A and B are shown apart, each in its own frame.
Chain A
């Protein structure tokens, strides 16, 4: 499964997701997992910089290199057609820059590890996980978030189709789903259901709204083969 990397997460919680049902199938329990930890689990050692190498120093100044940070520095990002100048550290993710520094909380952070695509935004026209993108890497690109889809106060046709099809339950995955589907329609205005499935393959929905998302996207594209 995708979040195999997080053994310290509660396995029971993970298995409540329909997409993560493999935990149920393989019967992982937190206890079973910790069994492997043996006696040393209690005394977790703090790992500091596994890769610390010392090399002969090369001159740090080079005209093709610009050092930023580690403290906050001013940065201008172009988000939804508007320039925002914010003060951020290089470690700030694009998701945090949007949500915390610009107040654009439409983008949701769920796993914070690239495993759910809940935080999807467009970098130029390409969908990316804003939780795994440094805000610094968004400089010079057009960032589009869910707040940027409506035009002149009107919902984007895809948003309207999501509403019409009631394509959400808790709604947490919805902004990411909409952004993935919006990017698809931009690239391929006449997708098949398979294309929509492929475009949303990385988006997890714990509420299981997938069929409605597919239907809404196909309707917005005018390629629906079913009646709404």
Chain B
């Protein structure tokens, strides 16, 4: 890891005053230090926001929930209000990474972490995502790569929290010295077709300050499950987030979200349409899982994901509806 200046900040305005000339924000540091240890990036100044107490904490408001960017995944997982009304989010944060990482990793950093692709993540491969002209995954090993939107760069969206937050229609608040703006999670990520090197719309002089989640409609039930190659902890090979607005057993409206399916976390309108206005049954849940795979374009080694996602989605719909327990074959 290269040498750097650490600018220790105790206030948001102090941190904003530092964000120029290539200075990079450090929150929990898990993803940033990983990329620096690998030699992918060598910033000369890290802006340490970890001790800005105003950016930490979970607040219930009349409109919903406001979560400070520095709130750790462990804090979100264990929060009683999140558990009670936003099960999808406590599930997602509680199943991301390891207990140790969840104690350090912040929700802001989790949303802003770089995509997963072992070529991009290795200093040995000068790839498209690093501004070079080729992607190694198409002819190489691509079993963990994307099955949707994968013609430019098939790296996968990594954030478990983003799966939940997209399903909950959340937004992030971004602050700069010039002011604040709010961006919906659905508009936050940049598709590699637009620019493989840019992951989100956040500007280098902006701080992600909080996550804003609207209050779910009454009768809303939700769940998240992550599937990987081992049960203790693992990056997802497929993760599913489900939010159901229920009227008795009739689903008024559904959000079905897939992580690790595409370079940008995605909802499946086709799967959602299979549930809207219908009762949640094994049959409708299966139909939704199947519909979610319409248009999938697996690469040479990830065809299994086209079989895994429907199962993940179907079981997570039934889990959200309270018709099935947590899947023992899911991670954690």
A and B from one complex: yes
Shortest CB-to-CB span from A110 to chain B, Å, is: 13
Q: How far is the CB of B156 from chain A (nearest CB, A)?
A: 10
In the complex, the answer to whether B97 meets A37 with C-beta atoms within 8 Å is: no
> Judging by beta carbons under 8 Å apart, are A65 and B8 in contact?
yes
A50 pairs with B100, CB closer than 8 A:
no
Q: Number of B residues contacting the other chain (C-beta, 8 Å)?
A: 81
Stretch at the interface among B126-134, B247-255, B265-273: B126-134
B230 near A1 (CB under 8 angstroms)?
A: yes
User: A48: which B residues are within 8 A, CB to CB?
Assistant: 42
**B327 part of interface (Cβ distance < 8 Å):** no
Given contacts A38-B139, A49-B22, A90-B4, contact A44 B123 (CB under 8 A): yes
Nearest Cβ on chain A to B126's Cβ, whole angstroms: 4
Question: Number of A residues whose C-beta is below 8 Å from B?
Answer: 75
Q: Are A70 and B121 in contact (CB under 8 A)?
A: no
Min distance, Cβ A176 to any Cβ of chain B, angstroms: 9
Chain A interface main SS type: loop
**CA–CA, A126 and B100, complex, Å:** 8
- Does B29 belong to the interface (CB within 8 Å)? yes
In the bound complex, CA of A136 to CA of B40 (Å): 22
In the bound complex, residues from chain B placing their C-beta under 8 Å from that of A56 are 20
Considering the complex, give the chain A residue whose CB is closest to the CB of B20: A55
Q: Which of B30-38, B79-87, B207-215, B318-326 contacts A (4 or more CB under 8 A)?
A: B30-38
How far apart sit A5 and B235, CA to CA, in the bound complex (Å)? 10
Interface string of B129-153 (1 = CB under 8 A from A): 0111010111111111000000000
- Knowing A7-B118, A48-B42, A59-B17, the reply to whether A38 touches B6 (Cβ < 8 A) is no
- Contact across chains for B125 and A41 when beta carbons are under 8 A apart: yes
CB proximity to A under 8 Å, residues B282-315: 301
* Interface assignment of A45: CB less than 8 Å from any CB of chain B: yes
Nearest chain B CB to A57 CB, angstrom units: 6
Q: Does B64 contact A (CB under 8 A)?
A: no
List chain B residues, Cβ under 8 A from A228. Answer: none
Residues in B whose Cβ lies below 8 Å from that of A199: 99
Q: Does B201 sit at the interface, judged by CB under 8 A? A: no
B10's partner among A22, A53, A64, A113 (CB-CB below 8 A) is A64
Task: Judge whether B61 is part of the interface by a CB distance below 8 angstroms.
Answer: no
Q: Are A2 and B5 in contact (CB under 8 A)?
A: no
- Known contacts A33-B140, A37-B136, A45-B132: A5-B3 contact under CB 8 Å: no
CB distance from A58 to the nearest CB of B (A): 5
Q: Among the listed B4, B46, B122, B138, which residue makes an inter-chain contact with A5, where contact means beta carbons less than 8 Å apart?
A: B122
Chain A nearest CB from B81 CB (Å) reads 20
Q: In the complex, what's the smallest C-beta–C-beta distance from A135 to chain B, in angstroms?
A: 10
Q: 24 A-B pairs, CB-CB below 8 angstroms?
A: A1-B229, A1-B234, A4-B116, A7-B125, A26-B301, A33-B118, A49-B41, A53-B20, A55-B19, A59-B17, A60-B18, A62-B14, A65-B10, A66-B7, A93-B33, A114-B97, A114-B100, A117-B98, A127-B99, A136-B6, A137-B50, A180-B99, A202-B232, A202-B233
Give the B-binding residues of A (Cβ under 8 A). 1-2, 4-8, 19-22, 25-26, 28, 32-38, 40-41, 44-60, 62-71, 89-91, 93, 112-114, 117, 120, 123, 126-129, 132-134, 136-137, 180, 197-199, 201-202
Which residues in B have some Cβ–Cβ distance to A below 8 Å? 1-11, 13-22, 24, 26, 29-30, 33-34, 37-44, 46, 48, 50, 74, 97-101, 103-104, 116, 118-119, 121-126, 130-132, 134, 136-144, 177, 197, 204-205, 228-230, 232-235, 301, 332
4 additional contacts (CB under 8 A) given A57-B21, A67-B7, A202-B98 = A1-B229, A4-B144, A38-B136, A126-B103
